[in-house]
Amino acid sequence: MRVLACIKRVPIPGAKIPLTDDGTAVDDERLGHTVSPHEECAVEEAVRLVEAHGGTSTVLTVGPPDAEEQLRAAVSTGVDQAVLVPTDGADWDPQRTAAAVVAAIGELEQADGPFDLVLFGNESADAGGFQVGIRVAVALGRPMVQGIKEVEVDGDTVRVSRPTGTTSEVYELPLPACLGVREGLNLPRYPTMRGRLVSRKATIAEVTVDGPAGGQSLVALESPPEQEVETEVLGSGPEAIERVISVLEDLKVLT
Amino acid sequence: MIVVFVETTAGDDGDVLAGPSRQALTLARSLDDDVVAVAVDDGEVDLDEVAEDAGRYGAVQLHGAWHDLLDRYGPESWAAALDGLVEELAPGVVLAAGTERGGEVLAHVAARRDLPLVANVTHAEADDAGWRLQRVRWGGSLFEHTRLEAERVLLTVQPHAVDAVEVVDPAAAELVEHDVELDDVVARTRVVEEVVTSTGVSLATAPVVVGGGRGVGSAEGFADLERLAGLLGGAVGCSRVATNNGWRPHRDQVGQTGTAIAPTIYIACGISGAIQHWAGAKSAKHVLAINTDAEANMVARADWAVVGDLHQVVPALVAAIEAR
Contact between B202 and A166 using a beta-carbon 8 Å cutoff = yes
Number of H helices and number of E strands within chain B?
Answer: 9, 15
**Closest CA in chain B for residue A159:** B192
Those residues whose C-beta lies under 8 Å from the C-beta of residue A179, and which sit 6 or more positions away, are: A117, A118, A119, A120, A133, A144, A145, A146, A148, A151, A158, A160, A173
* Percent of chain B clearing pLDDT 70 (strictly above): 98
Catalogue all structural domains in chain B, each as residue range(s) with its CATH number: 2-189 (3.40.50.620), 208-322 (3.40.50.1220)
How far, in Å, are A93, B36, B46, B90 from residue B168 at the CA level? 40, 18, 24, 28
Contact between A131 and B111 using a beta-carbon 8 Å cutoff = yes
Q: What is the pLDDT along chain A (255 residues), one digit of tens a residue?
A: 999 999 999 999 877 899 999 999 999 999 999 999 999 999 999 999 999 999 999 999 999 999 999 999 999 999 999 999 999 888 899 999 999 999 999 999 999 999 999 999 999 999 999 999 999 999 999 999 999 999 999 999 999 999 987 789 999 999 999 999 999 999 999 999 999 999 999 999 999 998 889 988 899 999 988 777 899 999 999 999 999 999 999 999 998
Q: In the predicted model, is pLDDT for residue B231 greater than 70?
A: yes
Which residues on chain A are in Cβ contact (under 8 Å) with B188? 143, 173-174
Which residues on chain B are in Cβ contact (under 8 Å) with A126? 137-138
pLDDT at residue A166, as a whole number: 77
Average pLDDT over residues B164-178: 95
DSSP B70: G
How many CB contacts within 8 angstroms connect chain A with chain B?
A: 247
- A223 Cβ under 8 Å from any chain B Cβ: yes
Residue-averaged pLDDT of chain A: 95
Burial class (CB in 10 A: 0-12, 13-18, 19+), B13: exposed
Contact between A241 and B199 using a beta-carbon 8 Å cutoff = no
List all residues of chain A from 34 to 73 with a beta carbon under 8 Å from chain B: 36-38
Nearest Cβ partner for A247 among B73, B294, B304: B304
Q: In the predicted model, is pLDDT for residue B13 greater than 70?
A: no
How far apart are the C-alpha atoms of A201 and A72, rounded to whole Å? 9
What ipTM was estimated for this complex? 0.94
How far apart are the C-alpha atoms of A150 and A43, rounded to whole Å? 14
How many angstroms separate the CA of residue A67 from the nearest CA in chain B?
A: 19
Closest C-alpha among A127, A10, A132 to residue B136: A127
What SS3 class is residue B5?
Answer: strand
Angle separating helix axes B310-322 and B222-231, nearest 10 degrees? 30
Nearest Cβ partner for A131 among B73, B107, B137: B107
Q: Quick one: CA torsion of A190, A196, A198, A202, rounded to 10 degrees?
A: 100
Closest C-alpha among B67, B11, B16 to residue B37: B16
Would you say A4 and A119 are in contact if contact means Cβ atoms under 8 Å apart?
yes
Which residues on chain A are in Cβ contact (under 8 Å) with B301? 227, 229, 231
Q: In the predicted model, is pLDDT for residue B101 greater than 90?
A: yes
Contact between B147 and A242 using a beta-carbon 8 Å cutoff = no
pLDDT at residue B12, as a whole number: 55
Q: Taking the domains of chain A in order of start, what are their residue ranges?
A: 2-206
A2-206: which CATH architecture? 3-Layer(aba) Sandwich (3.40)
Residue-averaged pLDDT of chain B: 94
Cis status of the peptide bond prior to A176, with omega within 30 of 0: yes
Nearest Cβ partner for A234 among B196, B231, B306: B306
Buried b (16+ CB within 10 A) or exposed e, B287-301: bbbbbbeeebbbbeb
Would you say B188 and B151 are in contact if contact means Cβ atoms under 8 Å apart?
no
Would you say A216 and B118 are in contact if contact means Cβ atoms under 8 Å apart?
yes
**Closest CA in chain B for residue A189:** B244
Closest C-alpha among B318, B101, B22, B71 to residue B192: B71
Predicted confidence (pLDDT) per residue in B124-166, tens digit: 999 888 899 999 999 999 999 999 999 999 999 999 899 999 9
Contact between B141 and A125 using a beta-carbon 8 Å cutoff = no
How far apart are the C-alpha atoms of B145 and B162, rounded to whole Å? 17
Lowest mean per-residue pLDDT among A23-27, B115-119, B145-149, B200-204? B200-204
Nearest Cβ partner for B192 among A144, A172, A174: A172
Contact between B275 and A16 using a beta-carbon 8 Å cutoff = yes
pLDDT at residue A88, as a whole number: 86
* Percent of chain A clearing pLDDT 90 (strictly above): 88
Q: Which of B193, B275, B295, B318 to mutate to test the interface with A (most CBs of A within 10 A)?
A: B193
Task: Identify the sign of the CA torsion B57, B61, B62, B65.
Answer: negative
pLDDT at residue B15, as a whole number: 76
List all residues of chain A from 160 to 219 with a beta carbon under 8 Å from chain B: 161-174, 182-184, 187, 214-219
Contact between B116 and A125 using a beta-carbon 8 Å cutoff = no
DSSP per-residue codes, A32-68:
-EE--HHHHHHHHHHHHHHHHH-SEEEEEEEE-GGGH
* Percent of chain B clearing pLDDT 90 (strictly above): 89
How far apart are the C-alpha atoms of B120 and B96, rounded to whole Å? 10
The values of phi and psi at residue B100, to 5°, are -55, -50
Number of H helices and number of E strands within chain A?
Answer: 6, 14
Contact between B275 and A17 using a beta-carbon 8 Å cutoff = yes
What SS3 class is residue A106?
Answer: helix
pLDDT at residue B186, as a whole number: 97
pLDDT at residue A228, as a whole number: 79
Q: Which amino acid is at A65?
A: P
